Structure 1
């Protein structure tokens, strides 16, 4: 007979697992940064953007909107790209 018995069901616990507050905190910080960046990115590009020399070099509203949509598209695409890369290259 084996020394250790295998659990056939998960143990019953009355509290949250200890890692849950870290997960919730991480998600809250991620959402805060996402919505904060979304709210100010276009305003920053049209009013406060500087060039390499430190001079004011703002974008037109149309150009800023195009870059904003590029930024948002990248936010949604890059996790998919990262998942494919992790599974195909780093997961082996």
Structure 2
């Protein structure tokens, strides 16, 4: 009988319930600090949020990855990305920590 509640619906897609974002490990304090500092520097050098986000998230051949990932990985990576940004801006006053 069409429209009956007794029809087999096992092949029908089921709604996903209780969806939660994939859990990842929290950032270390050092990594989070580098993330904030490089984002602030990019915002200042590039003149705004959208430009900073685009720069930090676009893979860069010279760096070998996304500038944000490189900067967060370790202090040497942070320095490489910061130097790249400073080269774009010329001389830049240091950021207060």
**Which range, TM-score by smaller chain?**
under 0.3
Higher helix share: 1
Structure number with the bigger relative contact order (C-alpha 8 A, sep ≥ 6) is 2
Task: Provide TM-score, normalisation by structure 1.
Answer: 0.24
